[in-house]
């Protein structure tokens, strides 16, 4: 539940609609927006043109949804801290997930993610946070350079622990990403 989710024109607010398309239940109440899932996700075919930074989140979730998910209009993600599309393909591949790249899209053939695997962050805070979501479901996931989240969310690992995630105590002691 996000309690400070006022009506906004921010494109990333569309995340909730994509989560609903993936099979999550969305309740937009007076006290906030609540998203729940029974753990079974559906693949999606979605344009992320308005929110390309979310390609990491949805590629991670798509790796858990059985079947192919198509994440379109995300070519700009190749120009961020790292080439996020290439990094996602490489790291999800370490989990046994086939990812097909095109210049402006990814096709994630999900439902096959298996650990153990060490996932590299490529010095990218969004990759680390997305891989944490996978680690809540796939046993044996280790995130290399977890401290890179300090770029935008230094308390990420503490907050993940507070939500009940099993995060090793040394996550904050890892060297932060270059800025």
Residue 2 is classified by DSSP as B
The rounded distance, in Å, linking the Cα atoms of 131 and 119 is: 7
Distance of CA 130 to the CA centre of its chain: 3
Environment class of 10 (CB within 10 Å of its CB; exposed 0-12, middle 13-18, buried 19+): exposed
Which of 53, 73, 83, 104 is labelled catalytic?
A: 53
The rounded distance, in Å, linking the Cα atoms of 108 and 120 is: 18
- Both tokens of 56, joined, read 């990491």
Asked whether the beta carbons of 126 and 53 are under 8 A apart, the reply is yes
The rounded distance, in Å, linking the Cα atoms of 107 and 116 is: 23
Active site residue 104: no
Catalytic residues: 53
């Amino acid at each position: 539940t996000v309690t400070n989710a006022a009506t906004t024109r921010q494109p990333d607010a569309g995340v909730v609609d994509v989560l609903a398309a993936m099979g999550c239940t969305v309740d937009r109440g007076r006290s906030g927006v609540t998203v729940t899932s029974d753990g079974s996700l559906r693949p999606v075919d979605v344009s992320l043109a308005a929110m390309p930074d979310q390609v990491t989140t949805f590629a991670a979730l798509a790796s858990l949804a059985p079947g192919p998910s198509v994440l379109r209009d995300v070519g700009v993600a190749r120009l961020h801290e790292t080439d996020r599309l290439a990094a996602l393909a490489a790291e999800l591949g370490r989990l046994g997930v086939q990812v097909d790249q095109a210049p402006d899209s990814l096709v994630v053939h999900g439902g096959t993610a298996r650990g153990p695997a060490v996932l590299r962050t490529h010095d990218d805070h969004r990759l680390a946070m997305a891989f944490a979501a996978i680690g809540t479901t796939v046993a044996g996931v280790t995130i290399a350079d977890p401290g890179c989240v300090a770029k935008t969310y230094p308390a990420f690992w503490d907050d993940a622990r507070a939500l009940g995630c099993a995060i090793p105590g040394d996550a904050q002691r890892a060297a932060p990403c270059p800025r």
